[in-house]
Structure 1
Amino acid sequence: MSQPEIFDRARRHKRRDRAAPAYRDHAFLRDHMLDGIHERLSAVQREFRDVLDLGSFDATFTLPGATITRLEPGKRFAEATGAIHADEDMHPFPPASFDLVVSAGVLDSVNDVPGALALIRRALRPDGLFLGAFAGAGSLATLKAAFLAAEPAARFHPQIDVRAAGDLLSRAGFALPVADVETLTVRYSSIWSELRDLRGMAATNLLPDARPLGRATLMRAVQEFTEKADPDGRTPERFEIVYLTGWAPDESQPKPARRGSGTTSLADALKPKK
């Protein structure tokens, strides 16, 4: 028997289609992630020719000199940009198709994250690079607290923390895996402004059993959110951006030393120098 899925795939597709026309007005979070990905790319001294943009939204990721294939689960985004219309954990690419895969702002809403990472690793050529970014554990802390105070119901997605992200990279077979986190704080004039951004970036509730918000719950959440405002009336919200870096294994890569091969004991290393 198959496992129940965390997110409603059809709802995810519809939310992305709804967000497509005005997405640029709310794309600050993915833009920030792409800046982080480009910063990490700039530290790699090699050229990438065949690139996959996995979960490409409005196709703003570019890399001079590269051929970029895009995959996008939203039909309207895909039609507008020429992307392949498919889910990130069900993509059709054969092994060793790309030397770089990037993914910004999607892995936090993919049903099968381990499967998606395994497919990414499979699609990379030996010594190919994966760079990803998504909103991880600790994101939307203010909004979560406001809604939980208003109604103790499951309205927010489970989130992946940075340690679990690193473990997922290792389990997927990546070499030299690195996961790190960066905090981005955004200050909102009202809860409505934040909810508009989340709708605009297709980041609202995708849980299968999500219930509509009642007016009383929403009004209580508005009050809770407003009470957390700074003296200037703006309420800070936190986005914890988890960045992933992993390489497809290759014989040319540095290998960790074999266990027990060291020539200096820990006791000797800790002795004070004379």
Structure 2
Amino acid sequence: MAYTPGNFSFEAWWEKVIARTPVKYISLILAAVGGLLVWRFPGGYFWHSIGEAAVIAALLMFLVDPFLKARLLKEAARDIFEYLLGFDHQPPLKERLRRLVFDTKLFRRNFNARYRLIPEADFIQSEMEFDFELVNPTEEAVEFQYKIDFEQAENPRLDSLTLISSEKSYEWRPALNATEDEPFVLQGLADPVKIQPASKGFSYRFGGKCAVSYPAAFYYAQHFAYPTIGVTVTIEHPQTLEVAAAQTPAHEGNVWRYERLFMPGDHISIRWKPSSS
């Protein structure tokens, strides 16, 4: 919000500055000012006492405040269901929901997935292109490493991963390597990128091209690792195949649009089989 001379409020401006400034920075400023006052004025002087108080306040903010906030969040997560729903949830469920709310620092929107189904001798090759906007709703930069996983049985081919941003654009051609924690899973990794806050006007659009192989009559599940708002699926296929995707009111021809939120664990299924005609 922009303040003009007629509607400027120092109190509102100060609250906004404090709300957007991380506690660690405020504590460092307090410590610096307090240390300077203690150094400049001898003991017994009023400003020396102010400096000591500032240093103590800085230490409390830096060392105690994070633990106090964590405890308050834990207590809030424990009690909020009782106030909202009239009953309590089991601890594992509450912890999962708490982490989902407080640990979600990135989300995707306008996810476009294009599939081209190509019949081969005894299988279907699915050539895929996809792109999405990645948004950081917080006030601090968040590191993000773009990755894509395949089952080894899919006989995958990763052509490229891309990023077009208001800062800099990239194109990666990573090799597919086996993961350490999951057997028979191949993974392609891009370089880590700092995602700046959306409030600062930065934008990031990631994309990729790959191909996988499936049986002649089978399905593909598009999973979502991050919260994703708005998905468009386009499927190109020959007349020798019958194709269907998860139902949506916004379906026209070979395009399916899903104007809703997909959470981690959700998926969109795409199915095909040889045409009976």
State the TM-score, normalizing by the size of structure 2: 0.23
Give the strand-richer structure, 1 or 2.
Answer: 2
State the TM-score, normalizing by the size of structure 1: 0.23
Select the structure with the greater relative contact order (CA < 8 A; seq sep ≥ 6). Answer: 1
